[in-house]
Structures are given as C-alpha cells and as structure tokens.
C-alpha cells in the first residue's frame, strides 16, 4: 500500500520557495519547461501531474511552490515597472525571503534560478491577459456536483401512509468569486428540469463545435 504524503501549507512566502534550493539541475529544468507553457504558473491537472512525477520529492506541495512563484512574478514586475533594475529587484527579494527560506550556502544559486524564472516572458503576460478576459466582471464556474434525494409522500389527512417517493436533484456550482457568499450556488431540480439542462449543455457544445468548424475562427480560438 502506498504511503500517504502529508500536505503541509507553508507558513510564509519564503518557506513556500525553500524547495528551490533542493531541486537538481534536471528537476529545475523540468520546472522551467512546465511554467514556460501557455498556462504559465497555473498548470492544468495533467501538466501538474506530469511535473509531480518529475519532482517526486516536491509533489505534495507543488501547488504552493507554483502559487508563490506566481505571486513573486507579479511583485517583481511591479518593482521593475517602478524603475528598479531587474537584477536589483531579484537580489532584494531573495535577501528579504532568505530568513524564512533558509537557503544557506545555496542562496546564490537560488538567486540565479529565480532570475531565470521570473524574467518578463510573453507566456506569463499572455496567460494573465487571458485570465482577465475570462473573468470579466462576473464569477466563473469552476466545479460542479449533484446529490439525488428521494422524498417520501405520506399523503394527505390524518392517516399517515407512504404513497411513494419523489426524486429530487440538488445541484451545486462552485465559483471563483472573491465574495464568500458567491463561492457556492446550490439549487434543486426535477427530472424534467435535468433533461432541459442537458439539452442546454448539448446546445452549448454544438455552438462551440460550430465555431471550431469555421476555418477563419478556428485558427484564432484560444484554449487553455
């Protein structure tokens, strides 16, 4: 039986980036390749699984590393935009994080690695632009789940007798809303309503397929 690997959230940004000192050259190269793709630091499920296999020691906490790098990328970009040279921005950030990161004798190597990762890249900028376009001004649905319930019908009047059961589907939609009240939307529906929902989903898929079949549009569709 495989052993369970505990997921321990880092207590600080420096602690989240501490593993950069422990990566071999091959592992670091795999990390660079992964985040240089079209999804930048926000890897897809399959991409994340591939990277976990390449960095087995960091697998359980890999999402924390990527999240910390994404935050630091934005931080460095703001500093550089304010007029600080890129090299100075990297050095100052490494010095500030070292207390929690405890990079020790590998501090200079980590500085070089961060300088390589956090430089302004078109892939990072483009993905952030796409995320903004996707988000717009309303929350995006990011997860779905259902619960089927049977509710008994005990009839009318004083006499209680089980007449049968009514199936009810409860549907939950998880969103990326910043407001906690909007992160989870729950509603219920009948079997007939579920059939209508399936029709709407099928029609939406048909519309997307029609767009992909139009040559002039298909070449410009962005999929992340």
pLDDT in tens, the chain (224 residues): 445 455 667 788 899 999 899 899 999 999 988 888 777 787 888 888 898 899 888 877 888 888 888 888 888 888 888 898 999 999 999 999 998 999 999 999 999 999 988 887 766 666 666 666 655 667 778 788 999 999 888 888 778 888 899 899 999 998 877 677 778 889 999 999 999 999 999 999 898 888 887 777 766 666 65
Q: What is the pLDDT of residue 28?
A: 92
Is residue 224 within 8 A of residue 130, CB to CB? The reply is yes
pTM score, whole prediction: 0.59
Q: What is the pLDDT of residue 219?
A: 64
What are the φ and ψ backbone dihedral angles of 98, each rounded to 5 degrees? -60, -30
Burial 159-169, CB ≥16 within 10 A → b, else e? eeeeeeeeeeb
Q: Which residue ranges make up each domain of the chain?
A: 13-135, 139-189, 192-224
User: Taking the mean position of all CA atoms in its chain, how far away is CA 70?
Assistant: 11
For 85, the token pair is 């040279």
For 115, the token pair is 């300088």
Is residue 113 within 8 A of residue 28, CB to CB? The reply is yes
Q: What is the pLDDT of residue 60?
A: 75
> Number of C-alpha atoms within 13 angstroms, CB side, residue 83?
0
Q: What is the pLDDT of residue 1?
A: 46
Among candidates 221, 198, 195, which has minimal Cα distance to 208?
221
List, in sequence order, every beta strand (DSSP E) within 102-213.
141-153, 164-175, 184-189
Q: What is the pLDDT of residue 224?
A: 58
Burial 207-216, CB ≥16 within 10 A → b, else e? eeeeeeeeee
Spatial separation of the C-alpha atoms in residues 191 and 199, rounded to whole Å: 13
Q: Which residue in this structure is represented by tokens 């048909």? A: 206
Is residue 8 within 8 A of residue 16, CB to CB? The reply is no
Bridge partners (DSSP) listed for residue 170: 147, 188
CB atoms within 10 A of CB 41: 22
Q: What is the pLDDT of residue 194?
A: 92
Q: Which residue in this structure is represented by tokens 């000192």? A: 21
Is residue 155 within 8 A of residue 161, CB to CB? The reply is yes
Q: Which residue in this structure is represented by tokens 């009047």? A: 157
């Amino acid at each position: 039986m495989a052993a369970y690997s505990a997921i321990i959230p880092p207590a600080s940004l420096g602690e989240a980036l501490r593993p950069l000192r422990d990566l071999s050259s091959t592992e670091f190269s795999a990390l660079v390749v992964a985040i240089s793709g079209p999804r930048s630091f926000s890897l897809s499920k399959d991409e994340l699984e591939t990277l976990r296999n390449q960095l087995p020691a960091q697998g359980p906490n890999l999402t924390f590393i990527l999240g910390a790098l994404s935050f630091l990328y934005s931080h460095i970009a703001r500093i550089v935009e304010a007029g600080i040279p890129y090299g100075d921005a990297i050095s100052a950030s490494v010095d500030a994080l070292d207390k929690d990161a405890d990079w020790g004798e590998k501090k200079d190597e980590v500085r070089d690695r961060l300088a390589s990762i956090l430089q302004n890249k078109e892939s990072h900028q483009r993905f952030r632009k796409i995320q903004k376009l996707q988000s717009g001004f309303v929350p995006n649905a990011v997860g779905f789940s259902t619960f089927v319930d049977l509710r008994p019908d005990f009839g009318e009047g004083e006499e209680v007798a089980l007449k049968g059961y009514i199936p009810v589907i409860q549907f939950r939609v998880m969103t990326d809303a910043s407001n906690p009240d909007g992160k989870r939307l729950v509603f219920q529906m009948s079997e007939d309503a579920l059939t209508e929902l399936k029709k709407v989903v099928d029609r939406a898929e048909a519309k997307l397929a029609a767009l992909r079949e139009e040559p002039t549009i298909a070449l410009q569709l962005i999929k992340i």
